[in-house]
Amino acid sequence: MSAETIEADGIIGPEAPDGPVRIVVEGGHIASIETSKGPAKGTVVMAAPTNAHDHGRGLRTLAFGAVDDALECWLLTLSREPKLPTYERAAVAFARMAEGGIANTNHSHTPQTPNGLVEECGEVARAARDVGIRVAFGAPYSDRNPLVYGDPTALLESAPTLRSRLQGRAMSGVAVRDYLRSVEEMAAFEHGGFSIQYYPVGPQWVSDEALAAIAEASAETGRRIHMHLLETGLQRAWADHAYPGGIVKFMDSIGFLSPRLSVAHGVHLREDECELLAERGVIVSVNTSSNFRLRSGIAPVKRFLATGMRFGVGLDAQPLDDDDDILREMRLVWLNHRGFGLDDVLGTDHLLTALTVDGRRAVLGEDGGGRIVPGAPADLLVLDLAAMTRDVVSPGEDATTVMLTRATRHHIRRLVVGGRTVVADGRCTTVDLPALEAALIAEARANWQAPPVSRDEIMAHVRRYYRCGCHTGRPFTAQ
């Protein structure tokens, strides 16, 4: 592979050199960084961001009527998604992420076909290769609480019209030994831009025995684990009831906590839990837009910082404007957590490190990436500084400040992943995204089937179950 030069008016990031630069890329890595004395380019470059937690849905949830609401109500409406071809579903999601500035993603897969996970994994691997972003495939596992947290009997008795539909879902699941065997089958699909992670979906959905088995397998193989953790207040209440000694302490007692683990959300983590997770080297994905849209709350980033817990930034397939714009998500994290009034909490260097280094660790482990230094992987995002500063009359405004104030996907000039140009002038160059998206939508329309039970009816019964406190062992009260 021949050397390539990227010139810009500056680098955004911690310890970045001042002034114009010439970055030489060779063999997929940064060969050198030199000062440049040529004419202004109107651009700045930063290490390409990572999407630390996502689900890779090519069809957005609103399209099939899973409207934003409390997570526990919303989850059961995801079954409305029409059957879609796995490759197109993933390729559309990954190409859209690329156009939003994302070089790497943690893909928490949602299977479309019973017993078809291995085959779906192969199609997702192919999509990752074609699009050109790096993907960690979370192979999902769950074996308890498929409907609600706790005994679903009260829910089923209160919803006779839903019973047959919900009971079929409740009988899903495979033995953990079979799951672990399938993960090793999926490892055959790994390539330079695609790896497999264990994905026990969340402690409320995975038995203690299965969590212990996955922890043991991770220790033996070195394979990373990704999972949801304490996303909502209802999950917090369930965990406190089910694990009076503490859910995070229990996970630690079975060897589940380690630097190989990353968790999504952590909205309801307590300080002592953050301290333990930080001590064990666990990283959390902060998913601000999703937590707003699904009414989960605001992650305690101030607590993460105080305890030394590292975190990344994730879209969770629920970005604020359904546009997979990681730059806008970065700004949302910044505005929520920099501190209010004169309280300085989150600094710009820490924010950029979360976006480019720590989130990357959740996907790839420690690979030296996320930085613009010689020898690092050439994962670079080139932004149109001239467009962002068209009206700026104050000379010498800091490029980082400009980016945090204005940058969106519309300012992306180029995304380079491992030395390969994936996006140029805002468009994915590796696949035909408009054609793929049009085909996916056409397939969704052709396969759409009106659900036998209304969304509002499902949500009403689920709300009643949780409002009775059944998830914490209280008896169901008919209403």
- Is 303 within the bounds of a domain? yes
Residue 171: the pLDDT is 46
DSSP 63: G
pLDDT of residue 147: 87
What integer pLDDT is reported at residue 255 of this predicted model?
98
Task: Tokens for 62, please give them.
Answer: 């609103």
**What pTM was computed for the model?**
0.96
- Give a yes or no: residue 169 inside a domain: yes
Q: Is residue 13 part of a domain?
A: no
Contacts of 380 (CB under 8 A, 6+ apart): 6, 23, 25, 45, 46, 47, 48, 372, 414, 415, 416
Residues 267, 230 contacting (CB under 8 angstroms): yes
The pLDDT assigned to 98 comes to 98
Residue 11 belongs to some domain of the structure: no
Query: For every one of its 479 residues, what pLDDT tens digit does the chain have, with 9 covering 90 and above?
Result: 578 999 999 999 987 888 899 999 999 999 999 998 877 789 999 999 999 999 999 999 999 999 999 999 999 899 899 999 999 999 999 999 999 999 999 999 999 988 899 999 999 999 999 999 999 999 999 999 988 999 888 888 877 766 666 655 554 568 999 999 999 999 999 999 999 999 999 999 999 999 999 999 999 999 999 999 999 999 999 999 999 999 999 999 999 999 999 999 999 999 999 999 999 999 999 999 999 999 999 999 999 999 999 999 999 999 999 999 999 999 999 999 999 999 999 999 999 999 999 999 999 999 999 999 999 999 999 999 999 999 999 878 899 999 999 999 999 999 999 999 999 999 999 999 999 999 999 999 999 988 777 888 888 889 999 998 988 888 766 55
What does the CA dihedral 248, 244, 75, 194 come to, rounded to 10 degrees? 20
What would the two tokens of residue 387 be? 């467009």
Q: Which residue, 320, 403, 285, is CA-closest to 47?
A: 403
Range of 219's domain? 47-373+426-437
Residue 394 is assigned to a structural domain of this protein: no
Output the domain CATH number for residue 202.
Answer: 3.20.20.140
> How far is 407 from 391, CA to CA, in rounded Å?
14
List Cα–Cα distances, 85 to 3, 57, 169, in angstroms: 38, 11, 21
Whether 235 and 204 have beta carbons less than 8 Å apart is answered as yes
User: In this predicted structure, what is the pLDDT of residue 155?
Assistant: 81
**Residues 260, 222 contacting (CB under 8 angstroms):** yes
Could you give the strand order of the β-sheet that contains 261-265, starting from the edge strand earlier in sequence? 50-54, 104-108, 134-141, 194-200, 225-229, 261-265, 283-286, 310-313
Backbone angles phi, psi at 272, to 5 degrees: -65, -30
Alpha helix (H) residue ranges in 297-429: 301-307, 326-337, 348-353, 359-364, 385-388, 399-406
Number of domains in the chain: 1
Q: Please report the DSSP string for 72-90 in residue order.
A: HHHHGGGGGSPP--HHHHH
Instruction: Give a yes or no: residue 187 inside a domain.
Output: yes
- Count of CB atoms situated within 10 Å of the CB of 456: 10
User: What are the tokens at 436?
Assistant: 């793929």
Compute the distance between CA of residue 440 and CA of residue 449 in angstroms, rounded to an integer: 16
Residue 389 in domain: no
Quick one: pLDDT at residue 448? 93
Whether 322 is in a domain gets the answer yes
